[in-house]
Amino acid sequence: MQFSRTSLADAMVIDMQRNEDSRGFFARTFCVKEFADHGLVTEFVQGNHSYNRRKGTVRGMHFQTAPHG
């Protein structure tokens, strides 16, 4: 993530940094360590954002067949 200060007191712009491959991209939207390093207080552990270029793309170990779907 890229943290940028603004002209507003205590306000920052936080941009995602995309990790891309042929399937699409993955990006963190939140990281407790990085937020703490910038003086931000929160109790979230991590948040992410991903995008897949093709319908039906499966990433990692998330896919499960019935009856465990």
Domain assignment of residue 28, yes or no = yes
CA 43 – CA 47 distance, rounded (Å)? 12
Domain assignment of residue 44, yes or no = yes
**CA 29 to each of CA 8, 14, 26, 48, 67: distance values in angstroms, whole numbers, following the listed order:** 21, 8, 10, 5, 32
Domain assignment of residue 45, yes or no = yes
**Polymer length of the chain:** 69
Domain assignment of residue 37, yes or no = yes
Domain assignment of residue 68, yes or no = no
Domain assignment of residue 40, yes or no = yes
Domain assignment of residue 32, yes or no = yes
Q: What is the pLDDT of residues 9-63, one digit of tens each?
A: 888 899 989 899 998 989 888 888 998 899 887 787 777 778 888 888 877 766 6
Domain that holds residue 47: 23-54
pTM exceeds 0.75 = no
- Closest by Cα among 3, 13, 58 to 33: 3
